[in-house]
Amino acid sequence: MGIGGVTEAGFSNSNTLVVSHERKMIEVARKVIIVADHTKFGRASMIHLAPLEVADIVVSDAALAVEYQDMLKGHGVEALLA
């Protein structure tokens, strides 16, 4: 799933219509994979979706700063850079 923002507090999105559906998808998923390019990190969107720990993998681009890669790893989330 795509996401609007990623911070130490977790994942967030700005569309109130999809957040409840995204939460349900996380709840029933066997594996949660979040896709977020480097511009989404360090910014929070309007609605908190979930803590970082819910994700198994975060896929981002090669421009993702090492500090954010370390943040993900510190929460047990695998970071894949494309």
- pLDDT, tens digit (0-9, with 9 covering 90-100), for 29-76: 999 999 999 999 999 999 999 999 999 999 999 999 999 999 999 999
Give start and end residues of each alpha helix (H) in 1-82: 16-28, 66-74
48: left (phi over 0), alpha (psi -120 to 50) or beta: beta
pLDDT value, residue 1? 80
Read off the tokens for 21.
């559906």
Residue 2 pLDDT level (bands cut at 50, 70, 90) = confident
Alpha-carbon Rg for the chain in angstroms: 12
pLDDT at 80 over 90: yes
Read off the tokens for 70.
């370390």
pLDDT at 16 over 90: no
Type of residue found at 51: P
2 or 52, higher pLDDT: 52
**Distances, alpha carbon 78 to alpha carbons 13, 17, 19, in Å:** 21, 28, 23
User: For residue 10, which of 64, 50, 68 has the smallest C-alpha distance?
Assistant: 50
Domain range spanning residue 69?
Answer: 5-81
- Considering its fold, how many domains does the chain have in total? 1
